[in-house]
Amino acid sequence: MKVTVLGAGAWGSAFASHLAAKHDTVLWARDAGLLTRIAEAHENTAYLPGVAIHPALRFEAHFAAALAHAGGAGDLCVIAAPVAGLRALCVAMRDAGAGLGTGLGTIPAQFIWLCKGFEAETQQLPHQVVADVLGDVLGTRAHCGALSGPSFAKEVAAGLPVALTIASASEACRDLTVQAFHHGAMRIYTGDDMVGVEVGGAVKNVLAIATGIADGLGLGLNARAALITRGLAEMTRLGVALGGRAETFTGLTGLGDLILTATGDLSRNRTVGMQLAAGLGLEAILGGLGHVAEGVRCARAVLQIARQHQVEMPISEAVCAVLFDGRAPRDAVGALLRRDATVETRSTD
């Protein structure tokens, strides 16, 4: 199988390295110099320092050529851009085909994306962004989906065990993704609830900021467990309201990803929360991360969508108050603790 990975950040490099162990894999990036440095060092020192990149991985600086590499019926294209860059990359894919006068010829028939979150400007999930840009071009031809689950790029690149879910309405896309990724220490599960999978991947980042705040304030493991559990309830309510299935949120892309992101030391979103609790300003925190913290980018969108659908999300509301309204982290936690008692479980029908 031929595979193209678009994006050479931490995610793109980690997954491309994994894929290269079994498939003819090409990695593309906007920065040709970055590709050159990775090729020479067999390491992405900018985004994955200290982790060796598989020597079989190849590099392609020309976008159209990278797309063409995965143009066959049994090939796969992997979009490894963050949500903020997904629309521009889809536009580039569409324009590459139109510019060459080949119509659909340079847009892969099968492609998946790794990004998690809501697009801040439009409040769209990734699959909605893809449909918005490429729907008219692709029609019913494309087999595409979201690959998600509890995973840190550094551990994926190091070959440590990981389990992910490919969500797609296309059985062909699900089967092809399993063929591409299910080897070594990586296991791939399949499903068709794309809304549920993507909502889980978005909301867990916001909830991880909340858990980081609690940990940074020294509120203890009891508080952490409560935030994760009640956060899962928030996530499920929103996901079901948007058309997802409740059972999806008890799986890898819901509870699994939430546990990892809320408790793992490699979590950028948890780090944001801990540093907010320590009194650092948001701008300084983001400047020091060096990577994207998707929870900050999509927190407002999560809360706005929840309000539109009359879904109660007090933890997400508290996070937004700290991030954007200048509320002190301890005050936000106090407001959560002062909420009236209520029943624990509610119907999501």
Positions marked active-site? 204
The answer to whether the beta carbons of residues 14 and 156 sit under 8 Å apart is: yes
Secondary structure of residue 221 in the 3-state scheme:
helix
Secondary structure of residue 79 in the 3-state scheme:
strand
Q: How many CA atoms lie within 13 A of 92 on its CB side?
A: 18
Q: Which helix (H) or strand (E) holds 147?
A: strand 143-148
User: How many degrees, rounded to 5, is the angle at CA 145 between CA 267 and CA 39?
Assistant: 60
The per-residue b/e assignment along 96-117, b for 16 or more CB within 10 angstroms, e otherwise, is bbeeeeeebebbbbbbbbbbbb
The answer to whether the beta carbons of residues 67 and 4 sit under 8 Å apart is: yes
The per-residue b/e assignment along 191-223, b for 16 or more CB within 10 angstroms, e otherwise, is bbbbbbbbbbbbbbbbbbbbbbbbbbbebeeeb
Q: Which helix (H) or strand (E) holds 4?
A: strand 2-6
- Amino acid identity of 128? Q
The answer to whether the beta carbons of residues 50 and 43 sit under 8 Å apart is: yes
Q: Which residues are registered as beta bridge partners of 166?
A: 147, 190
Cβ neighbors of 44 (< 8 A, separation 6 or more) are: 8, 10, 13, 34, 37, 38, 51, 53
Secondary structure of residue 94 in the 3-state scheme:
helix
Tokens 């650092």 map to which residue? 280
The answer to whether the beta carbons of residues 274 and 212 sit under 8 Å apart is: yes
